[in-house]
Amino acid sequence: MPSASVLAPSALLAAAAALGWLLELVGVRISRWLAAAAAWLALATLLASWGATGRATLELNLPGTLAGAPLALRLDAISVAFGLVVLIPTALLFTFQRRGPAEVGVAALAAAASLLASEAGSLLLTAVALGSCASLVLVALWQEEERPTTAYLVSLSAAGLLLLWAGVVLEVTGGTSVYSAAPVTALRVPVFLLLAGAALLCSGLLPWPSWLPAMWDRERLEAGSLAIALLGPLGFLLLARAYTLGAGSWPTPALNLVLAAFGVVVAAAAACRAQAAASRPAFLAEAAPLG
């Protein structure tokens, strides 16, 4: 299996966005169906690439570097698992939700960026791809409805900064932020806390009102549901990558208890806010993350 197949799922979505935009210029309005077909084809391509390699790791080294880190994409068990988590709901959303031509293009590019984040071979490249995805999702939210997105902006901006901070610390202390090359000793408690903070902010799982419930409290749900499908899994991806950086363990066993306790606090706070909600939509918006 050629290493270029690692890039194929994201390239299909980006090509669908570009082709749909060009066809819209000449009056052919099939961008929605192009995006849906590209998402399903990207899903099939991801599974085929993983199966053709015998479930072995497949890497693609792109020309150039990013702040000294190689531009490498990596198809392994983690990237395949999170690629499926991203692509399956995205393909369903593209198939059954109605979007305007401009909205379809932005959504397809956001999905491509989310896939690149799951396949990124280094922490710095993950940060760049996540930031691109978050920016494109923000454009989709503004296209759909002009309303304040302060919680989203603050959370995702902070997540990106924490992720970049963790990547720089890994580069300085471990010599590289590449997942397969970083030494195990580089994952110390400060780096892990930066990754965990970025993960929680990206997924919206916080004890206080975050961007996640706000996505369900919109007049239209197309962009909000896309934001949850693309960004929510990336938060858990960061924790999984932290686990691999530590060779199957976190810096100290106490961190397992800390994260578990934090999860209990998040669930309890969401339940309290749901009970205090003044309307059924507000209740469902707060209770949805508990599912």
**pLDDT tens-digit map of 143-197:** 888 776 888 999 999 999 999 999 889 888 888 888 888 888 888 888 999 999 9
- Residue 20's domain comprises 3-290
- Which pLDDT does position 288 carry in this prediction? 65
Q: How many domains does the chain have?
A: 1
- Which pLDDT does position 3 carry in this prediction? 80
Span 126-131, average pLDDT: 93
User: Residue 281 — very low, low, confident or very high, per pLDDT cuts 50/70/90?
Assistant: low
Model-wide pTM > 0.95 = no
Mean per-residue pLDDT of the chain: 87
Q: What is residue 162's DSSP assignment?
A: H
- Which pLDDT does position 157 carry in this prediction? 94
Report the alpha-carbon distance of residue 188 to residue 60 in Å, rounded.
Answer: 28
275 vs 81, more confident = 81
Residue 289, pLDDT > 70, answer no
CA angle 148, 149, 153 (to 5 degrees): 145
Span 125-136, average pLDDT: 94
- Which of 158, 109, 107, 129 is closest to 237 using CA atoms? 129
- Which pLDDT does position 127 carry in this prediction? 92
Q: Note the residue count of the chain.
A: 291
Residue 62, pLDDT > 90, answer no
Q: Please write the tens of the pLDDT for every residue from 196-233.
A: 999 999 998 888 888 888 888 788 888 889 999 999 99
- Which pLDDT does position 1 carry in this prediction? 61
Q: Classify strands 58-66 and 69-75 as parallel, antiparallel or unpaired.
A: antiparallel
- Which pLDDT does position 67 carry in this prediction? 64
How many Cα neighbours within 13 Å face the side chain of 25?
A: 6
- 23: exposed, middle or buried (Cβ count in 10 Å: 0-12, 13-18, 19+): middle
Report the alpha-carbon distance of residue 197 to residue 10 in Å, rounded.
Answer: 27
